Amino acid sequence: MREVTTTEKAGGSMPDAFSREVGDLGTWIDQLPFVDHHCHAPLRPERIEGDGQAELRSTFTESTDPVTQQRDVPDTLVYRTMIRELARLLGSDATEAAVLAARQMTEPAAYHSQLAKDAGLEASYDDYLFSQADCYPPADWAKLTGLPVRPILRIETQAEQLLTSGVGDWTSFRKAFTDALDASVKSGAIAFKSIAAYRSGLALDQPDDSAVAAALDEAKRSVEQGEHFRLSALPLVAGLVWATFEYAAAASKPMPVQFHVGLGDDDVYLPSSNPALMRPLFREPRFHDVPVVLLHNYPYVRDAAYLANIYSNVYLDLGLTLPLAGYDAVPLIRQALGLAPVTKILASSDGHAMPEFQWFAIHHWRRALTEVLNGAISDGWVDGTNEAVEIAKGVLAGNAQRIYTAQPPAAAKPAG
């Protein structure tokens, strides 16, 4: 990160209201806290083989093809840039081999907190049911970095766990599922997350109960026959999503629901992961106050920005897209800023597996946002450094802090 003066570090003074010196903006943006409102705890060290080369490479693609992971990733601009930046931080030569050797010289806890501190990470909201067995649990991750980690409940995985523990009909399953949502909130969950895009696609119209019940029966048969089960039938996924929104909407300040949108691994069929398909959820009057956070969004950034412009409860984020779309970040952020209010754009890393991903994503957000806002000042769309810093504060932390403060539904609180 850049060096700043002691006065700036104290955080007391804002840039001159009349300053048009665009060079100042990067210094300010580098100092702002970053609330990573969607990410995943890193791998525990025993899950990383050798010097970590294979893991580091595969973290920087969503592909599950080993050839892509190991042959192609080193040829991406984002990976090459990440290696150079990491070499600067670790004081090593700017080669992958030198960086891998240097990172092993530090204990995992010190290394994780070094990266978090260097990135200016303030808090992580952890979608913890992703690769749960291989990754640090939220509380352990918090200890590792000394920073707050708040869990996010992945609803499809929660439902799969309930299915394998034996279930009755849709009415009783739905009750068990809602009880699990409630338990997660009481133990600190800050949001729900749906991976419907990976499973059924996002055309999540409200299903009728008989279709959900039939899909649940089919799912139960698969589980009983010992098949590797993935919850993917559209009526069942949609039934769970609608049940989640009903639960979320019942709170005095509704819980946000995050959706994977757009790019991901080959499980995602891009045409059915366009967020515009979620229109029935956006138009449902009962869900009017439930924040819907569209994650990633590549290549549907403009679609997501349009939805954030039209619906008062829709927010968008470019996590994962940044850093993976690396050099394309500036136009993508500009697309978001075209239609979406600045108060509805959030930043996350979607950090996962190796901690370098979260670290690099946060730096990349700061750099790309600085470039976009500098351009906007020059073009007369943002009125100087003060307004740019105010926008950046919201995107990097404040917008998330405003919406992720939900309390459990009043009805779910213990009586008396």
Residues forming contacts to Zn ion in the complex (CB under 5 A) are: 350
| 251 vs 320 by CB, closer to Zn ion | 320
| 264 vs 384 by CB, closer to Zn ion | 264
Shortest distance in whole angstroms from residue 65 CB to Zn ion: 20
- DSSP readout, 183-201? HHHHTT--EEEE-HHHHT-
**Residue from 237, 243, 280, 283 nearest 260 by CA:** 237
| 349 vs 385 by CB, closer to Zn ion | 349
SS3 assignment, position 42: strand
* DSSP type of residue 43: B
Rounded to an integer, what distance in angstroms lies between the CA atom of residue 359 and that of residue 86? 9
Shortest distance in whole angstroms from residue 260 CB to Zn ion: 7
Rounded to an integer, what distance in angstroms lies between the CA atom of residue 309 and that of residue 306? 5
Residue 150: which H helix or E strand, with range? strand 149-154
Whole-angstrom distance between the N-terminal and C-terminal Cα of the chain? 50
| 119 vs 251 by CB, closer to Zn ion | 119
| 350 vs 371 by CB, closer to Zn ion | 350
CB nearest Zn ion: which residue?
A: 350
- Do 126 and 151 touch, CB atoms closer than 8 A? yes
| 317 vs 350 by CB, closer to Zn ion | 350
- DSSP readout, 111-141? HHHHHHHHHTEEEEEEETTTTGGGB--HHHH
Shortest distance in whole angstroms from residue 228 CB to Zn ion: 22
Shortest distance in whole angstroms from residue 156 CB to Zn ion: 13
Residue 295: which H helix or E strand, with range? strand 292-296
